[in-house]
């Protein structure tokens, strides 16, 4: 986590330290095959967090310039701050290594709200093989079924349903 920039402090200085720390961690973890994840948090959830946009997170990953540093794409934060999830998912596949999916606006199970989940799941099926892990609101039936049967793909999920469609 990048952390919160205290009021009156220079965010660029904190960003530079964060990038140096990411490089250090990435270099230490690379020999072990471990990935480092960078996550943007929306200001409504974490005010004054170092960065809130997926595009800011992508810029940080590019500046770090290590093969094991990726985005942790949280669809809740991404939709709140950046919108256009289709663009993010299609154009930056391979830049994110972990995806979190939650309902919007209330951050519950992905079964209603402003995101079109069937469309979203079809989008993620396109680059699914490039993703390392998924996180869909812990305890939900959707999460349990996805973990039990990830090879069926996400397009088979029906929001609010109790199982993956065959």
**pLDDT single digits (tens) 119-143:** 887 887 775 545 545 555 555 544 4
> Residue 5 domain-assigned?
no
Torsion angle of the four alpha carbons 59, 62, 63, 68, in this order, in degrees rounded to the nearest 10: 130
Length of the chain: 166
Which CATH number fits the domain that encloses residue 101? 3.20.20.150
> What's the whole-number mean pLDDT along residues 76-83?
94
Is position 1 within any domain? no
Distance in Å from the first CA to the final CA of the chain: 38
| 157: in domain | no
Q: What is the pTM of this model?
A: 0.78
Residue with tokens 């919108």: 83
Q: Residue 74 — φ and ψ, nearest 5°?
A: -105, 110
Total count of domains within the chain? 1
Residue 144: is its pLDDT beyond 60? no
3 assigned to some structural domain:
no
CB-CB neighbours of 84 under 10 Å? 12
Contact 19, 3 (CB under 8 A): no
What percent of the chain is predicted at pLDDT more than 90?
53
Give the pLDDT mean for 57-78: 96
User: Residue 157 — pLDDT band, cuts 50, 70, 90?
Assistant: low
Domain containing 42 equals 11-152
Residue 159 included in any domain = no
Question: pLDDT tier at 117 (50, 70, 90 boundaries)?
Answer: confident
What's the mean per-residue pLDDT of the chain? 81
Judge whether 164 lies within some domain: no
- Mean pLDDT (whole number) for 42-56: 96
Choose between 60 and 127: higher pLDDT: 60
- Whether 131 is in a domain gets the answer yes
* Residues 52-59, mean pLDDT to the nearest whole number: 97
Task: Report the pLDDT value the prediction gives residue 147, as an integer from 0 to 100.
Answer: 42
Domain assignment present for residue 158? The answer is: no
pLDDT given at position 163: 37
In tens, the pLDDT along 4-35 reads 999 999 999 999 999 999 999 999 999 999 99
């Amino acid at each position: 986590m990048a952390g919160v920039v205290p009021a009156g402090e220079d965010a660029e200085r904190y960003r530079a330290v964060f990038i140096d720390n990411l490089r250090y961690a990435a270099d230490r973890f690379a020999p072990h095959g471990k990935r480092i994840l960078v996550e943007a948090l929306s200001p409504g959830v974490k005010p004054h967090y170092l960065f809130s946009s997926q595009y800011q997170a992508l810029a940080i990953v590019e500046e770090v310039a290590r093969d094991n540093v990726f985005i942790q794409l949280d669809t809740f934060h991404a939709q709140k701050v950046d919108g256009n999830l289709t663009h993010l998912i299609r154009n930056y596949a391979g830049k994110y290594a972990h995806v979190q999916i939650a309902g919007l606006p209330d951050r519950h199970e992905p079964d209603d709200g402003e995101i079109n989940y069937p469309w979203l799941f079809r989008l993620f099926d396109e680059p699914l093989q490039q993703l390392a892990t998924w996180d869909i609101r812990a305890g939900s039936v959707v999460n349990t079924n996805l973990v039990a049967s990830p090879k069926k793909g996400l397009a088979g999920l029906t929001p609010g349903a109790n199982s993956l469609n065959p």
